[in-house]
Amino acid sequence: MNAKDKFRFVRKNMKKNKTRVFMTVLATAMGCAFLIVLASVGFGLQKSIVDRMLQDSLVTKITVYPKMTEKTDQPPPNTGQGPGVF
C-alpha cells in the first residue's frame, strides 16, 4: 500500500464518517479554546493578586520599635520620636 492508496483510504473514511470527523474537529477546537481562556484567566488573576498585595502597607513597610528594657518589659521612656517606619 503506497502513499496514494493510504490517502485515498483516509479520504474515503472521512466522507463515510462525516459526523465523527466533525465531532473530533469540534472537540479539538473547544479544547484549545479552553486552554487559552484558562491560561488568560490564571495570568490575569495572578497579576491582580500581586498588585493588590504590593499596594498593602503590611507587605511594603517595616516598622521598627525600640528595644524593651529587661526589668519591666516596657519600652524605654519616650524620646518623642515613636516607632520608626521605613
- From the centroid of its chain, how far is CA 75? 44
The CA distance from 55 to 14, in Å, is: 57
Residue-wise pLDDT for 76-86, tens only, equals 566 555 555 55
For the entire predicted model, the pTM comes to 0.54
Residue-wise pLDDT for 51-60, tens only, equals 888 887 777 7
pLDDT of amino acid 55: 83
C-alpha dihedral sign at 30, 32, 38, 44: negative
The CA distance from 75 to 83, in Å, is: 11
Residue-wise pLDDT for 29-73, tens only, equals 999 999 999 999 999 999 999 888 888 777 778 878 777 666 666
The CA distance from 28 to 21, in Å, is: 11
